[in-house]
């Protein structure tokens, strides 16, 4: 039964990825017609195989760095590898995906007069000098480092979105996504939550970079998807950018210890040197999201980890 009176045709780029597949689930359950576009570079059909038989779901294998000609009402632009292992594997292509991909999707939105949401990132803040991070902070980013393809690519994408807004009066939304985790994460994506869970389940040494005192804030995927849908539903007077993430802060060492405890693992913690430009602190100020979206996370780290650990247990064993 449709929850909405109008069935919209919605394009989700990167729709076979971790976040994209959960967003496709949500939009279909809300009664919409979903076109999932993905080149399957980091996304996988496994994430969306349960949707293939749905007559209101369609998968199109396509790279957003090439123009796309379809008819839709709304666009969620999530296409881009998001973990350092994947986005550093082909950094030139990562920048192209952020920049050329945004140009192509913005051009499509302009032709269709469609609302478009950009999945930006907390990485636009770089290694921040203010804490927690607010949307008016311009960031502290290395433009020539190994992470720059992603950091600066996403920053340039935001520039393009706001220039289309100013120059063409396009209806845009920009969401800055902080660390998100949950089911369908790739087991080898190098992100801290998936790394720790996989290592713990295999009783391998858990790799902690630096002293482990660097902090992150972890948002469960269901909370994040709710925020994206609410952001898309705001009036055209609200463009963002808006921080989306969990404001509860944990050290990486605390996360490692919690994962070991929850998995009953015999893993030991192994400390290694900190990667280049790895942020020391990362915590969103979500005051704007609370005010404009009426949103804040409801799933605790323990609740989210329990679901994610169960997923990886089934995946690995």
Q: Residue 44 contacts by C-beta under 8 Å, 6 or more apart in sequence?
A: 16, 186
Q: Is 69 a catalytic residue?
A: no
Helices 252-263, 192-201: axis angle to 10 degrees equals: 30
Q: Phi first, then psi: what are they for 124, rounded to 5°?
A: -65, -20
**What's the gap between Cα 253 and its chain centre?**
23
Task: List Cβ neighbours of 231 (8 Å cut-off, separation of 6 or more).
Answer: 117, 173, 175, 240, 242, 244, 293
Return the SS3 of 315.
Answer: helix
- The whole-angstrom separation of Cα 230 and Cα 211 is 38
Could you say which of 41, 87, 125, 150 is catalytic? Answer: 150
The three-state secondary structure class of 40 is: coil
Catalytic residue positions?
150
């Amino acid at each position: 039964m449709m929850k909405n009176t109008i069935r919209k045709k919605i394009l989700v780029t990167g729709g076979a990825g971790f976040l994209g597949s959960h967003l496709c689930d949500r939009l279909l359950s809300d009664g919409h017609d979903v076109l999932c576009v993905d080149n399957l570079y980091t996304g996988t059909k496994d994430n969306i195989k349960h949707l293939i038989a749905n007559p209101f779901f369609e998968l199109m294998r396509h790279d957003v760095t090439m123009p796309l000609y379809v008819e839709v009402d709304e666009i969620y632009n999530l296409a881009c590898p998001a973990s350092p292992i994947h986005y550093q594997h082909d950094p030139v292509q990562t920048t192209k995906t952020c920049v050329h991909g945004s140009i192509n999707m913005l051009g499509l939105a302009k032709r269709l007069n469609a609302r478009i949401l950009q999945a930006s990132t907390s990485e636009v803040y770089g290694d921040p000098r203010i804490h927690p991070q607010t949307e008016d902070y311009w960031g502290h980013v290395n433009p020539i480092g190994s992470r720059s393809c992603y950091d600066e690519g996403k920053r340039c994408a935001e520039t393009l979105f706001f220039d289309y807004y100013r120059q063409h009066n396009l209806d845009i939304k920009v969401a800055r996504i902080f660390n998100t985790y949950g089911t369908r994460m790739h087991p080898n994506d190098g992100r801290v939550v998936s790394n720790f869970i996989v290592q713990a389940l295999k009783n391998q040494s858990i790799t902690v970079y630096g002293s482990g005192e660097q902090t992150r804030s972890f948002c469960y995927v269901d909370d994040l998807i709710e925020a994206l849908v609410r952001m898309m539903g705001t009036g055209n007077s609200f463009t963002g950018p808006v921080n989306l993430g969990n404001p509860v802060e944990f050290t990486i060492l605390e996360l490692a210890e919690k994962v070991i405890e929850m998995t009953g693992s015999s893993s030991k913690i192994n400390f290694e040197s900190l990667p280049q430009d790895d942020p020391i602190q990362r915590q969103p100020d979500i005051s704007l999201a609370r005010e404009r979206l009426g949103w804040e996370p409801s799933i605790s780290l323990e609740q989210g980890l329990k679901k994610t650990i169960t997923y990886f247990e089934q995946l690995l064993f």
